[in-house]
Amino acid sequence: MTTLTIREAEARDLEAIIRLHEEDELGSHGDAWTPENRPAYEAAFAAIAQSPENSLFVALDGKEVVGTFQLTFIPNLTGRGALRVKVESVKVKGARRSGGIGGLMMAFVEEEALRRGARLLELSSNKTRTKAHRFYERLGFSRSHEGFKKKL
């Protein structure tokens, strides 16, 4: 019997969040909770916390962090000035995948987006994550775009 909850991330969650990034061989970008990296994560966490348009969330099972995602609210002219929400860095703890945590997080995303007046959700997902793509399509997302990245 588990009780899943979702709340905004706090500074004390940062290590657990980065551990979820570490687990993800694909999206990890060399991420690891090391003494050298810690200041950079703390600075990024502070920047997210400070930004009214960004929110970082954690999904908890009891006190254990089992998932995370970030929302970015983006004012935009398109669609008669429709506010959009970008969903980013969606991670579920490896051992807990396919257990409904992702579905719960995305239901929360939709509710939060509507509550803040957004009319469009968007996200991009690495082309190799075919299981995630089916998941997003089941939730009503349309795979209408190509996602481009360029490292600077």
Q: Which residues bind a second copy (CB under 8 A)?
A: 17-18, 21, 27, 29-31, 37, 40-41, 43-45, 47-48, 51, 53-54, 56, 70, 72, 74-83, 86, 88-89, 110, 113-114, 118-127, 133, 136-137, 139-152
Strand ranges (E), 9-112: 54-61, 64-74, 84-92
d(CA 132, CA 98): 10
Measured from the CB atom, the residue of 6 and 58 that comes closer to a second copy is 58
CB of 102 to a second copy, least distance (A): 14
d(CA 77, CA 119): 12
CB of 69 to a second copy, least distance (A): 11
Measured from the CB atom, the residue of 35 and 62 that comes closer to a second copy is 35
Measured from the CB atom, the residue of 3 and 26 that comes closer to a second copy is 26
Angle at 117 between CA 49 and CA 110, to 5 degrees: 75
Task: With beta carbons less than 8 A apart as the criterion, state whether 92 and 102 touch.
Answer: yes
Measured from the CB atom, the residue of 5 and 124 that comes closer to a second copy is 124
d(CA 74, CA 71): 10
